[in-house]
Structure 1
Amino acid sequence: MSELIKTIFKVDNRPADPLQVLATRYDPPPALNYVRRDNGYTLVFLHATGMHKETWEVTIERLYKLAASSQKFFIQDIFSIECPNHGESAVLNQEALKKYFENNWPTREYSRAAHAFLNAGRSRGAMVDFSKRTLIGIGHSSGVPALCLMREYSPRIQFSAIIAIEPGLSEMKTRNNPRADVVRQVMSAWTWLKKDTWASSDTARKELKASQPQASWDPRILNLYLKYALRIHPAASFPPPFNFNGLTTALTKEQEAASYRSDDLLDLGLEAYSIITREIPVHVVWATMSEVAPPVLQEVLEDRSLGRCPASVTRIEGAGHLMVQQAPDYVAEVLSILLSRIASDHSAFSSRL
């Protein structure tokens, strides 16, 4: 059981934007006696496709403990913003999703949602003026292009640095490389084939524990998935005897498959990533056992001759694409090292001014 203090915030921009945005602020466990500093970092987490805002909890709790012990970087607060068609947000937005996005989901909708939350101001949402914070964006998989594409919205959200874990980007189609769509095709086919409905929570737990990729997850992450990534099946509302009171994934197969068709994962996302690596420090974290990002793709995202200039590249031995779910404590240790480096670089830069 997590000891983090959790507060959920909502930003509702309807009718201008049909999708409401949910985010959770995570404060340190009281027993940690963590002293927050007003000049500390505000960390903004964006999750991978198929996950939910709570998937970061184990990593966040460990990160607070590491920050308290190291004193090499300081955290003011942490927010995890949910993609509007995932988790709790999918239930909140179900009517709008059905009306406007039934078979369509561009990654930039996650960018738009995150921007709306961070731009809500002091009177709505978290009631924070994020323009006065030192923001560090931390994204996993499709959460990375969502962070990068945020640069297209006004007013600009100014991140001081970005940590990109297994970035969900692919080669540009304009390079006429057949590899560009292979990963997306595989992920789309896998989405249609995987099971998404269970008779009960006990059945879901038993079957997911024995299925990939969940079988390789940390048990605490699986518990969070069962609690937040699944929902009561919509057929529960049917009149008896036709109602079905089982569970299904909050993210529908239709929208998950649509997300892999989005060009935001190719030309647009990669272009935004390339530009951002030249504007601010972007620290990339790869898994050596990644099922999604082969070495050739990793090289593409590190190719300085193409204008892609990450500040650092870290490779995690033995980790897979879903390292946040498989090894959340270790991910926290990697984040701690990178945040310490960001703080050191910032301090060195400030001392030269």
Structure 2
Amino acid sequence: MLTSKELFTYHTSRNFLCFATKWTFDNDPLAALDCSSVCLVLLSGVGLTSDIWTPIVERLHNIQLQGRPFLESIWAVDRPSHGDSGVLNESALIGCQGLSPCAEYAAAFSAFLASPLLSSKERANLVIVSHSAGVAAPVYTYSECQLDPPIRSLVLIEPTVFDSSDMGIFEQWIRRTEKFIKSQKTAWTTIDEAMSTNKIWQKFHPEVRTIIANTFFRHTRGSDFSTKTSVAQEVSAFKEVALGIDIGQRLGSIIPKIPTHLIYGSRRDYWPKALDEAFFRLIHNHQHNFASVTPIAGESHFAPQEAPAQVAISIYKAVVATALQESKPVSRL
């Protein structure tokens, strides 16, 4: 398995740089001629980065070795304000007024799809996998027709989608989350100290925690460490999720047109009860339109980071279902 990081530029109100990580596999040479193979594009939630998809990618590779090589390649597109991309864009992000993180991620995603980084075969065989608020990027891209690429299927992992009637509860949750994030330390003398302060990270798979320790931090103020994703950018992205409450309505019009697979954690301890109820209403209302609905037993909203093996199996099942479709549906929303 080979890994590379590619840099691309996209233009909105400012010129931003963005990393896209690519994983390729040493498949059977005949796989290159197989038109059923797909290209996965992975999109991350708030506070997360492309690097921590690696354990899932490695498991997808191992699963694929046991059977037909359906995966042409896997890409993960950074959030422009997060991780290494956030460091590159730090100066451009300072003082940005009215910047919409959801819209910026959608713009970066659209620019990536249109870029020469993707081969014509990859672009014609896209399966988009999004986690949490990462769902905004493909939903905004396709519902607003910013681009017209084909897409073979969507895999939504714990998508952040709620009903407009829950806006008040959502805003209360956002305010509590913002207050909590701002109350945390922003610099630590050691990475171990930084890791120990995040209760959510402590529940992540050991491989994911190792990746976080190796990739999430940078030196500041001499020997201190801080996160590459600034508190200001993480808070901004969380607040923007509330503004993107219409994602559920947009998604409702997309699901009947594109084969859509839903994956969620059975341990419901992240969102307030009312928001969880809204999430399950989405499942109920579209149960006949989803290509599949898969719970990950015992895991939470952060199932990809807690249980990479189980999530990889669920993603691969969606990949196989997509690759084996007798006729490829080409969505041009």
Common topology (TM > 0.5): yes
Question: Which of residues 340, 343, 351 in structure 1 aligns to 2:323?
Answer: 343
Shift in Å, 1:111: 0.9
> What is the match of residue 108 of structure 1?
103
> What is the match of residue 10 of structure 1?
7
Letter in 1 for 2:278: L
Contact 1:282–1:312 (Cα < 8 Å) also in 2? yes
Please tell me the root mean square deviation across aligned C-alpha atoms, in Å: 2.7
- Pair 1:221-2:208 in alignment: yes
| Structure 1 residues 329 and 162, CA gap change in structure 2 (3 angstroms) | same
Shift in Å, 1:155: 2.6
Shift in Å, 1:291: 2.7
Shift in Å, 1:328: 1.3
| Structure 1 residues 349 and 286, CA gap change in structure 2 (3 angstroms) | same
Unaligned 5+ residue runs, structure 2? none
Structure 1 runs (4+) greater than 6 angstroms displaced: 32-35
| Structure 1 residues 226 and 9, CA gap change in structure 2 (3 angstroms) | same
> What is the match of residue 56 of structure 2?
59
Question: Which of residues 113, 116, 125 in structure 2 aligns to 1:118?
Answer: 113
| Structure 1 residues 177 and 211, CA gap change in structure 2 (3 angstroms) | closer
Cα distance in 1 for partners of 2:172, 2:294 equals 24
Question: Which of residues 289, 297, 300 in structure 1 aligns to 2:278?
Answer: 297
- Pair 1:318-2:313 in alignment: no
Shift in Å, 1:313: 1.5
Query: More displaced, 130-139 or 62-71?
Result: 130-139
- Pair 1:168-2:160 in alignment: yes
- Pair 1:189-2:179 in alignment: yes
| Structure 1 residues 97 and 331, CA gap change in structure 2 (3 angstroms) | same
| Structure 1 residues 48 and 132, CA gap change in structure 2 (3 angstroms) | closer
Question: Which of residues 46, 49, 66 in structure 2 aligns to 1:49?
Answer: 46
TM-score by length of structure 1 reads 0.82
| Structure 1 residues 302 and 193, CA gap change in structure 2 (3 angstroms) | same
Alignment of 1:1-353 (within 5 A): 4-13=1-10, 17-28=14-25, 36-38=31-33, 39=35, 40-71=37-68, 74-100=70-96, 104-120=99-115, 122=116, 126=117, 128-129=119-120, 132-151=123-142, 152-172=144-164, 175=165, 178-199=168-189, 203-209=190-196, 211-233=198-220, 236=221, 244-262=222-240, 266-293=244-271, 294=273, 295-304=276-285, 309-344=289-324, 346-347=325-326
TM-score by length of structure 2 reads 0.86
Unaligned 5+ residue runs, structure 1? 237-243
Cα distance in 2 for partners of 1:15, 1:178 equals 31
Shift in Å, 1:58: 0.8
| Structure 1 residues 292 and 42, CA gap change in structure 2 (3 angstroms) | same
Query: More displaced, 62-71 or 52-61?
Result: 62-71
- Per-residue CA deviation, residues 133-172 of structure 1 (Å, 9 max, x unaligned), is 2100001111112221111243323321111111122222
Shift in Å, 1:182: 4.0
Letter in 1 for 2:313: E
Percent identical pairs in the alignment equals: 20
Shift in Å, 1:349: 7.2
Cα distance in 2 for partners of 1:245, 1:153 equals 47
> What is the match of residue 239 of structure 1?
none
